[in-house]
Amino acid sequence: MVDLLDVAPVSQGLFRGRRKIGGTGRIYGGQVVAQALAAASKTVPGDRSVHSLHAYFLRGGIEDYEIDYSVESDFDGGNFANRRVIATQQGQVLLNLVASFSRLSRGHHHQLAMAAVPQPEELDPVHVAVSRHPDAGQKDRWYFYMRNSPIELRPVGALPYMPDDDRSARIRFWFRAANDVEAPQWMHRAIVAYASDLAMIATAAKPHIPFDIQVASLDHSLWFHRDVRADEWLLTVIDSPWAGEGRGLARASIFVSDGHLVASAAQECLMRDRAMR
């Protein structure tokens, strides 16, 4: 995971992201977001950490080529810094991302409470959970969760693209990096950014499946609230407040196992039913 996300400098303000070894087909959007964040992070002083990012997916990339990340340093102030990143592959723009970085400061605190859920040690890994339901849900969408992944995933309740009894627009799961991560805080946040794209579309689609679905991420926002270790278990709780007009909206809260909220995310996705065209 660290090797995948640790973009290499090419020249001033230009970085190159590696291909995923063994990857085929379309690049997972979370990888592009995470590599773009890694590129931006390498241009700011070490005493500042990313607290928010906002990205637009313009085109889907393919696993056959590396991705270049051009970083513009738009602002460096006393406490905040802002970076703008353009991701390109074979001369085409895949993604635009803006990230804001800040120094640690003191302030008043409150947070959303973490729901009571089973601990990850009590749950099956995702590939085991999927194997228990061979005839349910939309099996053509499970390949992403079944293939070899740098993220270990343990679902709480319903699986992505599988309705539960109440067909609620909610998915919950524990995740962590599959291997220990001995790296700076910016890398742990990049890994969380990678994982924050997981199951967002599936949550928006969940009340309506099965249907002949065409999906793509349109935009993605992520806010970090405190330092995090991506190689320790994190609980993601996703809900979708709305879907319509061929799009869906999803929101995620990410907690450490002791209940602290470490990040929040939101995403709008393309979610078309081909039968409605």
Question: Quick one: which H or E segment has residue 242?
Answer: strand 234-244
Burial 174-192 (b: 16+ CB within 10 A, else e): bbbbeeebebebbbbbbbb
Q: Which domains does the chain have, with CATH numbers?
A: 1-105 (3.10.129.10), 112-277 (2.40.160.210)
Grouping H, G, I as helix, E, B as strand and the rest as coil, residue 231 is coil
Q: CB of 33 within 8 A of CB of 220?
A: yes
Q: Name the residues annotated as catalytic.
A: 197, 217, 267
Indicate the residue type of 212.
Answer: D
| Contact yes or no for 198/30 (Cβ under 8 A) | yes
Tokens of 236: 């993601």
Q: How far apart are CA 29 and CA 149, in angstroms?
A: 14
For residue 135, what pLDDT is reported?
Answer: 62
For 3, the enclosing helix (H) or strand (E) is helix 2-5
Q: In the prediction, which pLDDT does 167 show?
A: 83
Smallest CA-to-CA distance from 153 within 235, 217, 53, 84 is with 235
| CA torsion through residues 85, 87, 93, 99, sign | negative
**Model pTM?**
0.95
Taking the chain (277 residues) in consecutive chunks of 10 residues, what is each chunk's mean pLDDT? 96 96 85 98 97 98 96 97 98 98 96 97 89 64 68 89 79 96 98 96 91 93 98 98 97 98 98 92
